[in-house]
Chain A
Amino acid sequence: MKPAPFDYFRPTDVTEALALLAEHGDGCKILAGGQSLVPAMNFRLVRPAILVDINDLDDLGSIRSDAARLSIGALTRHAAFHRPVAEGPLGLLLSKVARHIAHYPIRQRGTFGGSLAHADPASEWCLVATTLGAEMVATSTRGERSIGSPEFFKGTFSTALAPDELLVDIRLPAMSSDWHFGFYEFSRRAGDYALGMALAAVQLADGVVRDARLGIGAVAQRAIRLHALEGQLIGEKLSAPTIDAVARAASASIEPTGDIHASPEYRRDLIATAVRRALAEAGA
C-alpha cells in the first residue's frame, strides 16, 4: 500500500509555506503529524500532487498563556499535553483528554492543529475546541483571520479553512480555579476512535453551577456544543437527578450517525451515558 507520487516541499518559515499554499492551493496538502494524512495516502484514498511539510516551522510549536487565554501553536504535538501545559483546570483537562488520543507513538507526531484541520467527528481536540469555544487563527498571503469554532467546523473532514490557509494558533479561554471538568469517551479498544464522548466543564460556587460548558462528539458530522443544556445547568447543583435529566435531554436532542461500529440507536444510548459520566466526574 504505497502512496501515489507527489512533489514535496519543506519550507523553513511561515512566509515560504504560505507562498507555496498560495501557488498550489487545491493541489496540495499540508503535512503536519501525518498520523491521519499518511494512512489515507497509503490507502490512496487521497492523492495530493504536492505535499507541504510544515514540521520545520518551529514558530508554530509553542504554547503561551496569559490571564485571558491559552494560545496553542498548531504544531504542538499531542504528547506535549501529557503534562499540564498551564496552571489550573484547563491544563489538567487537556492533559486528561490527551491520554485518550490514540496511542503513545501517534501522540509523538500528531498535532493539535492537525487534528482540528482534519476535523474527524471523533477527534477529542475538536470536541474540546467546540465545547470551550476556541478561536482558530489562520493565516495566508491574504492576511490573518480568527475563526470561531461554530464557523470553523463544518462537517466530517470539512472546515472553513481555505485551500491557501494555514492554521497557526488555537486560543482557548482561560479557566479560573473554580472550574471543574469531566470527560468520558467510549471506544471498543484502548486508543480507538470514540463511539460517543462528552466533555463537561462547570464553574461551581458552593456546589451551585454558575457557568457551564457541555459538548458531545463522535455522534454527528461534527462535535456539538449543547448550549441549551448548559443554560439548564446554571443555578443547579450537580445532583444525580439533575445530571440524569441533562443526559436524557442530550440523548434526545441529536440524530446520531450510524456505521458498522455503532448504530444511531446505540450512539444515542452512549451519549446519555457519556454526558452523565462526564457531569458526574465534574461534580465529584
Chain B
Amino acid sequence: MNWIGRSLPRLEDPTLLRGGGSYVADRIGKAAAVRFVRSPVARGAILNIEIPPGAIVFTGRDLAAVKPIRPILHRPDYVAIGQPVLPVDRISFAGQAVAVVVADDAAAAEDLADQVFVDIDACDAIVDLELALKPGAAAVHPEAPSNVLVEGRLATADFDQAFASAAEIVTLELRSRRQSAAPLEGRGGVAAYDAATGRVTLSASVQMPHMLRTGIADLLGIAEAELRVIAPDVGGGFGQKMSLFPEYVVLVWLARKLRRDVAWIEDRRENFLASAHGRDQAFTVRGAFAADGRLLGLDADLRSNVGAFSCYPVTCGVEPLMALAELSGPYNFQAYRVRSRGVTTNTCMMAPYRGVSRPMLTFTMERLMDTAARRLGLDAVEIRRRNLIDAFPHRSPTGLIYDEGSYKQAMEIAVEAVDLPAFRKQQQTLRAQGRYLGVGISVFSERTGYGTPAYAARGMDIVPGYEIVDCTMDPSGHVELRIGASPHGQGLKTSLAQLVADELGIDPQHIRIISGDTDATPYGWGSFASRSMVIAGGASKLAAGKIAVKLKSIAARLLEADADSVTLGDGWARVSDSNQAIEIGALARAAYHRSHQFAGITPGLHENAVYDPGGTFSNACHIAFVDVDIETGGVTVDRFVVVEDAGVLINPMIVDGQIAGGVAQGTANALYEEIIYDEAGNLLTASFADYLLPTAAEIPEIEIIHLETVSPESVTKAKGVGEGGAIGAPAAIINAIVDALAPFGIEILEMPATPQRIRDQLRRAGVVSHG
C-alpha cells in the first residue's frame, strides 16, 4: 500500500476537533499574568514612567543589561538598528512596549497597566513610505539619516541596449498597502521557572522554536542550555510568528528575575499594533517591449516600508532584497536594472507574511503584461506565451536558477479549463445590460524549499536553511521522527508520516512526529517560506531511508536472502520471488535485542539525516472571474481557478487546503485588508471591525487542477506549496477588475482595490452612480 499521494485525513484532527488542542493560552496554569504598557504615540522622548506604589512593574532601566535585538546582514548598504526590548530613551512606534506589569490574573494586570503613566514628549512621526524618503525628512533612527536601512542595486550589462531597442516602454507606478497576517491566535508565551535547576521553559506561539531559544539566550547572556522553548499547538502563523519579539525576551527575563512562572497572552489590539506587518510597498517599473510583445528589459525602483525595526533573524532586508532578486518571476528576459530600498518609519516592524514580496512583484509583472498587451494589440494570454520561461534550468537576471517547471503548460490548461471565448460572449451580452464581468490571469513562480545557499547569498549573519531529522524505530516497530520544522496548521505530522510510512513499509498511524520542543528535537529552522515538506520532508526521507537499509539487511540475514531483494510494505519485509517474509516489528525487536547476531550492523534503529537543498520552484496559473458593481464599486469573485504544479503531492487534500487558504488571503489582499495609520502614526485599524478579514461569503469555491513536474532539486519530489495561493491571487483579481471596467478605461495599480477606490475612479471617468 502506498501512502504518498493519498488524501489521508489528518492524524492531528481528532484531538483538535474534541477541543483538546493545547495552545499557549491553554497552558497558563498558575502562572502570574504579564501585561505590557504600550506607547500611545508613535515617536517621542520618554521623560518619565510613573509606577503605582507596591506594584510589580519593570521598565527599560531594569532591563539595561539585556542586549537589544539587532539582526545583521553582511552588506555594506545595510544599517543595523538595535531594538531595545524595553526602550529607555525614545519611542519608535505607537504600541511599542515601554513597561511591563505582573499581577495575579490578566484582568488585574490590565487594571495595573492602566495605572502606569508614561510621560512622553511626543514629536512628529514619520509614517508614510514616500515621505520618509523625501530629502530633508527627519530621521527615524540617527544611524540612518536617509531612513534607508538596506539598499540593493543591480544593473546587467545589456540594460541600455534593451531600452534603446524597445518598440514600447510601459511605465507603471504600483502600490500595495500594508497588511497584517492576523493569525486567529495571537502571540503569547508561558515562561515556567524550574526552581531546582533555574532553567526556564518557554512555551510560545511561534514558528521557529530553536531560533527563539538562540535569540533569547544571546540577548540575556545565558547559555542556550538554560532555556527550553516549546511551540505547542499554534493557531496559525503565516510568517508573523517567525520573528523574535521583545515581549518573549522580557517574559523569560521576568521568569528568571521573579523565580516564578509568568504568562503573557496578547490581545487582538496588541497583535495589530505591535506584532509585525507586511507588504507596504511602492514599485515603479518600466518595461521595454518589442513590437511582438517580448519583454526585452526591466527597470525597477522598489520601495518597501520596513517599519521601526528590523525583524530577527531574517532582517528588514527580506522584503526589499527578495523583491530585487525575484521580480523577473517566470518571465524570460535578462536586461535588468533595479534599485530596491528598505525604508524605516515610525510604524510597526515589517516581517515576512505569506509570500513576502512575491504578491506585490507578481501584481507588478502581471499588470505590466496586461498593460503591454493592450498597448501592443495583443491578447493577454498570447503576450505571456511569448515571455514565459520554457527551457530549464533557467538562469534569471539575478542569477537564480529555476529548475524544471510547467509555466506555459499550466497557463494553457487553465485557459482551456475556463473556456474564455464563451466568457467573452457572456461578458459582452451583460455589458449591454449594465453588468460588468471581468476575467484576469496571473502566472507566477514560487521559490520554495531553499536551504542555506539562498540565505547566505543575502548576507544574513544567521543562515537558516538545512533541516536535521532524527528517526528512531522502537522495538515494537513504531517510529518516532524528531524534526526541527515547526508546523502550525500545515498537517505536517500527517504528510511526514505518509512519506516515512512509504519509506519503511509501515502504517502512518505507527509514526509519531515530535516537533517544536528544543529539548526533544534537533536544531532546526521551523516552518516558513514553503520549506517544510521539501526540507524536513527530504531529511525525513533520508533518515528513514537509512533505517530501511538496516531493516532490509537484518531481514536478509534472518531470511538468508539478498538485501537487494527485500522490499518493505504493509508491515512486512518480503523477499521478492519467494514467499519468505518477516514482520517489521520482529526485525525491530531483533535489531535491539539480538544485535549480537548481526555482525557489521550497529545495534538499534536510530538514524539521522541532514538536508540542505538549493531550492526548487513550483509554479501556478490563477484565473479569476469577477463581477463589478459600478455603482458601489463592490467586487464579487464569481469563480477562481488554480492550475498548480508542486511536483509530487504527498497528501493532495492538504495541498489543496494550503492553496485554498492562500487564495483566500490573496483575495483579501486584493479587495479587503488594509492597515491604516494616520499622519501622526496612530493605528486606525486595530480590531477585526476595522481590519477586514474575508468571511465565507466573500471567498468563492476554488477549483484546483494539479500538474506534476518532478525536479531533481527535491529528494521527496515534492515542491513547496504553502504560499502560492497568496502570491498569485491578488494579481489575477486586480487584472479581472481592470478587464471588467475596460469600457471605462479604468486602470488599477493599487491594492486593496476597495469599493471606494474603484468608485472614485469611475466617478472621475464620468460614470454616475445611478441611472
Contacts and interface: CB of A to CB of B under 8 A. Distances in A.
Interface of A: 1-5, 43-44, 186, 188-192, 240, 244, 247-248, 251, 260-263, 265-266, 269-270, 272-273, 276
A265 B760 contact: yes
Given A44-B110, A248-B770, A273-B631, 20 more contacts: A1-B267, A1-B269, A3-B107, A5-B111, A43-B687, A44-B114, A188-B754, A188-B755, A189-B692, A191-B697, A247-B770, A251-B769, A260-B684, A262-B756, A265-B763, A266-B755, A266-B760, A269-B769, A270-B769, A273-B770
B759 interface: yes
Contact of A189 (B107, B114, B697): B697
Which among B633, B676, B769 has the highest number of chain A CB atoms within 10 Å?
A: B769
Contact of B698 (A44, A189, A240, A265): A189
Shortest beta-carbon contacts, A-B, top 5:
A190-B697, A2-B107, A269-B769, A1-B267, A273-B631
B690 interface: yes
Nearest to B694: A189
A188 B692 contact: yes
Given A4-B111, A266-B760, A269-B763, A244 B770 contact: yes
Contacts of B690: 260-261
B698 A190 contact: yes
B106 A2 contact: yes
Contacts of A1: 110, 267-269
Contacts of B602: none
B363 interface: no
Contacts of B634: 186
A248 B631 CA distance: 13
A189 B695 contact: yes
Nearest to A192: B692
25 contacts: A44-B110, A44-B114, A186-B632, A188-B672, A188-B754, A188-B755, A189-B695, A189-B698, A190-B697, A192-B692, A240-B771, A251-B770, A262-B756, A263-B756, A266-B633, A266-B756, A266-B760, A269-B632, A269-B763, A270-B632, A270-B769, A272-B631, A272-B769, A276-B770, A276-B771
A235 B713 CA distance: 77
B698 A269 contact: no
B685 interface: yes
Given A272-B770, A273-B769, A189 B672 contact: yes
Contacts of B759: 266, 269
A131 B631 CA distance: 24
Nearest to A270: B632
Nearest to B754: A188
A244 B771 CA distance: 6
Nearest to B693: A189
A44 B35 CA distance: 15
A2 B770 CA distance: 46
Nearest to A4: B111
Contacts of A272: 631, 769-770
Nearest to B33: A2
Contacts of A189: 672, 692, 694-695, 697-698
A218 B410 CA distance: 46
A216 to B, nearest CB: 13
A191 B695 contact: yes
Interface string B647-682: 000000000000000000000000010001000000
Nearest to A241: B771
Nearest to A240: B771
Nearest to B756: A266
Contacts of B754: 188
Contacts of B111: 4-5
Interface in B399-431: none
B184 to A, nearest CB: 15
Contacts of B631: 269, 272-273
Contacts of A247: 770-771
A247 B676 CA distance: 32
A237 to B, nearest CB: 17
B110 A2 contact: yes
A251 B770 CA distance: 10
A5 B112 CA distance: 12
A43 B267 CA distance: 10
Contacts of B763: 265, 269
Contacts of A244: 770-771
A7 to B, nearest CB: 15
B685 A260 contact: yes
Contacts of A266: 633, 755-756, 759-760
Contacts of B267: 1
Interface string B351-366: 0000000000000000
Given A265-B760, A269-B759, A190 B269 contact: no
Contacts of B633: 266
A191 B106 CA distance: 31
B635 to A, nearest CB: 11
A44 to B, nearest CB: 7
B197 to A, nearest CB: 34
Contacts of B687: 43
Contacts of B685: 260
Nearest to B107: A2
B268 A260 contact: no
A4 B115 CA distance: 12
Nearest to A1: B267
A283 to B, nearest CB: 15
